[in-house]
């Protein structure tokens, strides 16, 4: 929430973080784009480095430590030099963004190289014949003054190596922590950096031999709290493939081991802490905190990678398909109302959480002018849009490039006329193109810089393509004949319907499956699907949406989304139908309902559990030819939106015997009429099942269709026709590669 305080964080720190978010590092990085200023920063950092070396060299020559005022000046020089190094490294790393896996392995590689270099430096000859551990490392036991020039060199080289590793780790892990960033997450990240800086500054005049005080422990507690808040920002893991997650597990383990061994007092680098603390105690504390955060973040990443290993790319693809389907449904249904269509196109990216504000600009061809007009806006007004941005200039670039354009730091763009506090930090501009014609542009924005990831750009691009089709359809509705309009709508819907039906049938031990669905017109409202709940259980569904045409097909699309997303969460068929009724009721029109049969077959137990919502009864035929109509009670989805739906819903459990055949179908099978107007009927279907019951599932399925065609005298149907056959033999593994 904008302006909300982070839990446990003082208001002053929140205010400081907010100021950084509004004006912060972006302006410094903008200044570093100038080559001369980068060179000046590099020179200044080198000067600070050599001054600090010279300070310790003079201390070595004199044999006595500097007094407090000079030592304070020395610490300021060291800190200033490494602050310059931080911003320079930040600038160069931002020029070469990398993915999560590359972040992990490059950090691992740099940590290995740094550890090897530090081990080599520590091995350089130290002072001899002096008692005490510090002296063995090259420092006077009581004062800490370097005893050799080699010690001075080692102090600053080892300090620089560990500082570079810590800076690289923080800057690279920042991209992981701020993946799918929000203002709150960005604030928490900068608060952690601020608290780490303040904590380290508390050691400016601290003697490394002295114990920390109460103020330092309080600051350390704050640092740890903020580390924990940021360590659980691992949403990037969800979007990795299985192979990438497995590789991430390996890199995380290696990083955990290396960082733990490096930080441990008895680890692989036990002596290097002494050199860093004598060079700069504040820098030692900052790098120690940074590497500790790296270790903590690697541990949480490892755990989340392990938990998310079972997930696959289907998550991303299915989520995108369902979102696009719902959006497409709304757009097509509203195509006759241009104002409503424009508003729907504009608000959907905000309502789905991809953006925080949006607007739609379209060239007004009817007026004879190609100047774009803002026809709709969401979470802002069209007047504010005209004030905040140069719409014509942005649209001109979009028309020239004809591809998505991302302004990662929108406030620095000359076409953005916003004032401090305006909600435009990042902007994504997407062209609406159809038939190679630019219809307009969809503009979405967030109030933080670099707010859009690559998957956001891809999802908005897919959505924009559908929106462009909807806009084009709307224009065709106004300009062309009704027949042309209807033909295009049906083509789109038929393609959608074909994608929703399963292309591969399940393969389960002891169960054979065959299925087909044929619409009466170009699109229909019949639907069937399968989902393997685990190795032993298969869920199946068959449904019939009342009505025909595109509206029935799109309700079918909604049912498919519910089946795919809800099945594993519903413990029983009755629970699934209850949840489906709740989800569909708000979307269905009053005169529309959906009849459904939903069942689960447990191949390990040989058991069928089935529930019915106003659908045709399922048929069970035994190997001996015994018939049974399975018709548990239940209302069609959408007929009752209250408690009565569940009250009348029944569930039936059936123990299967080898050779049992379960047949489910839509009313298009039994209600099909021949040329004399006589229905095919249940009796003929039962007779055909008995005659062909000993055949395999695929052959039985084909025999049923052949019998139906012979009876009708044709292969066309008056109603949508869907037929699913499941044959249980309890032993053999029957498979069929594809459905028709």
**Quick check: 509 pLDDT over 80?**
yes
In this prediction, residue 412 has a pLDDT band, given cuts at 50, 70 and 90, of confident
Half-sphere exposure of 250 (CA within 13 A, CB side): 8
Q: Which residues are bridge partners to 629 per DSSP?
A: 619
The total of other beta-carbon atoms located within 10 Å of residue 168's CB is: 20
Of residues 500 and 186, more confidently modeled: 186
Average pLDDT across the chain, whole number: 82
**Quick check: 621 pLDDT over 90?**
yes
pLDDT for position 147: 75
pLDDT for position 682: 93
**Quick check: 439 pLDDT over 60?**
yes
In this prediction, residue 263 has a pLDDT band, given cuts at 50, 70 and 90, of confident
Quote the DSSP letter at residue 139.
Answer: B
pLDDT for position 218: 92
**Quick check: 20 pLDDT over 50?**
no
Integer angstrom CA distances of residue 33 from 30, 46, 91, 234, 451: 5, 19, 8, 31, 21
d(CA 293, CA 177): 12
If you average pLDDT over residues 146-168, what whole number do you get?
Answer: 87
Of residues 479 and 604, more confidently modeled: 604
pLDDT tens by residue, 299-318: 999 998 888 777 655 555 44
What are the counts of helices (DSSP H) followed by strands (DSSP E) for the chain?
23, 15
pLDDT for position 458: 85
d(CA 563, CA 556): 10
Q: How far apart are the first and last CA of the chain?
A: 50
Of residues 526 and 353, more confidently modeled: 526
Using an 8 Å Cβ cutoff, are 375 and 391 in contact? no
Residues with Cβ within 8 Å of residue 454, at least 6 apart in sequence = none
pLDDT tens by residue, 378-399: 988 888 888 889 888 899 899 8
pLDDT for position 276: 82
If you average pLDDT over residues 433-457, what whole number do you get?
Answer: 87
pLDDT tens by residue, 345-369: 888 888 877 888 999 998 876 555 5
Quote the DSSP letter at residue 411.
Answer: G
| Closest-CA residue to 406 (of 360, 361, 458, 362) | 458
The total of other beta-carbon atoms located within 10 Å of residue 701's CB is: 25
In this prediction, residue 270 has a pLDDT band, given cuts at 50, 70 and 90, of low
Sheet containing 509-518, strands listed edge to edge, beginning at the edge strand earlier in sequence: 509-518, 721-733, 660-665, 618-621, 627-630
d(CA 98, CA 251): 15
**Quick check: 323 pLDDT over 70?**
no
pLDDT for position 116: 87
d(CA 289, CA 292): 5
**Quick check: 623 pLDDT over 80?**
yes
Least confident of 78-87, 138-147, 253-262, 467-476: 138-147
pTM: 0.52
Of residues 19 and 46, more confidently modeled: 46
Sheet containing 651-655, strands listed edge to edge, beginning at the edge strand earlier in sequence: 526-532, 537-545, 594-602, 607-613, 651-655
**Alpha-carbon dihedral sign for residues 190, 195, 198, 199:** negative
**Quick check: 268 pLDDT over 80?**
no
């Amino acid at each position: 929430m904008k302006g909300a305080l982070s839990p446990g964080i003082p208001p002053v720190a929140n205010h400081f973080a907010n100021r950084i978010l509004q004006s912060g590092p972006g302006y410094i990085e903008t200044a570093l784009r100038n080559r001369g200023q980068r060179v000046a920063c590099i020179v200044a950092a080198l000067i600070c480095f050599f001054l600090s070396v010279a300070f310790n060299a003079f201390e070595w020559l004199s044999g006595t430590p500097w007094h407090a005022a000079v030592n304070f000046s020395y610490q300021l020089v060291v800190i200033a030099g490494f602050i310059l190094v931080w911003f320079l490294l930040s600038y160069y790393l931002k020029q070469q963004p990398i993915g999560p896996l590359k972040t992990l392995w490059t950090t691992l590689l740099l940590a290995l190289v740094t550890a090897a270099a530090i081990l080599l430096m520590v091995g350089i000859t130290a002072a001899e014949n002096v008692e005490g551990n510090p002296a063995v490392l090259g420092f006077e036991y009581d004062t800490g003054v370097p005893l050799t020039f080699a010690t001075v060199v080692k102090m600053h080289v080892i300090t620089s190596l560990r500082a570079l590793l810590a800076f690289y780790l923080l800057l690279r892990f920042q991209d992981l922590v701020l993946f799918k960033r929000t203002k709150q997450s960005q604030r928490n990240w900068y608060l952690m950096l601020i608290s780490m800086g303040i904590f380290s500054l508390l050691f400016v005049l601290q003697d490394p031999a002295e114990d920390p005080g109460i103020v330092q422990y309080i600051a350390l507690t704050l640092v740890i709290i903020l580390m924990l808040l940021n360590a659980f920002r691992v949403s990037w893991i969800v979007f990795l493939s299985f192979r990438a997650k497995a590789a991430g597990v390996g890199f995380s383990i290696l990083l955990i081991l290396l960082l733990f061994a490096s930080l441990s007092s008895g680890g692989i680098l036990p002596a290097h802490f002494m050199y860093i603390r004598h060079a700069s105690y504040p820098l030692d504390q900052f790098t120690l905190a940074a590497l500790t955060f790296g270790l903590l973040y690697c541990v949480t990443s490892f755990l989340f990678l392990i938990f998310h290993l079972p997930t696959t790319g289907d998550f991303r693809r299915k989520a995108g398909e369902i979102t696009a389907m719902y959006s497409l449904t709304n757009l097509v249904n509203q195509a006759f109302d241009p104002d409503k269509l424009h508003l729907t196109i504009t608000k959907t990216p905000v309502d789905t959480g991809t953006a925080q504000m949006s607007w739609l600009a379209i060239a007004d061809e009817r007026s004879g002018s190609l100047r774009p007009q803002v026809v709709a806006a969401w979470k802002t007004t069209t007047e504010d849009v005209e004030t905040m941005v140069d719409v014509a200039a942005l649209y001109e670039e979009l028309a020239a490039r004809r591809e998505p354009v991302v302004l990662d730091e929108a406030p620095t763009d000359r076409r953005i006329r916003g004032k401090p506090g305006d909600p435009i930090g990042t902007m994504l501009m997407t062209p609406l193109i159809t038939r190679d014609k630019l219809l307009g542009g969809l503009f979405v924005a967030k109030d933080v810089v670099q707010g859009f990831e690559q998957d956001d750009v891809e999802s908005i691009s897919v959505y924009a393509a559908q929106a462009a089709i909807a806009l084009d359809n709307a224009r065709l509705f106004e300009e062309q004949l009704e027949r042309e309009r209807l033909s295009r709508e049906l083509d789109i819907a038929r393609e959608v319907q074909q994608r929703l039906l399963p292309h591969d049938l399940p393969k389960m031990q002891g169960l054979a499956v065959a299925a087909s669905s044929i619409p009466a017109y170009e699109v229909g409202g019949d639907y069937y699907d399968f989902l393997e709940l685990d190795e032993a259980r298969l869920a199946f569904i068959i449904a019939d949406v009342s009505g025909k045409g595109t509206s029935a097909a799109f309700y079918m699309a909604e049912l498919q989304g519910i089946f795919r997303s809800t099945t594993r969460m519903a413990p029983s068929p009755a629970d699934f139908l209850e949840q489906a009724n709740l989800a569909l009721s708000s979307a269905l029109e009053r005169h529309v309902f959906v009849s459904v049969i939903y069942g689960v077959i447990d191949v390990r137990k040989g058991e069928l559990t089935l529930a019915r919502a106003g659908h045709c009864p399922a048929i069970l035929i035994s190997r001996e030819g015994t018939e049974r109509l399975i018709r548990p009670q239940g209302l069609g989805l959408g007929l009752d939106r209250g408690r009565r739906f569940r009250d009348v819903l029944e569930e039936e459990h059936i123990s299967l015997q080898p050779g049992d055949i379960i047949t489910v179908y839509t009313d298009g099978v039994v209600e099909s009429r021949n040329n004399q107007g006589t229905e095919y009927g249940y009796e003929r279907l039962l007779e055909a099942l008995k005659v062909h019951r000993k055949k395999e599932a695929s052959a039985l399925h084909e025999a049923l269709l052949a019998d139906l065609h012979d009876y009708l005298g044709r292969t066309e149907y008056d109603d949508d026709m869907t037929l699913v056959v499941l044959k249980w033999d309890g032993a053999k593994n029957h498979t069929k590669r594809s459905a028709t």
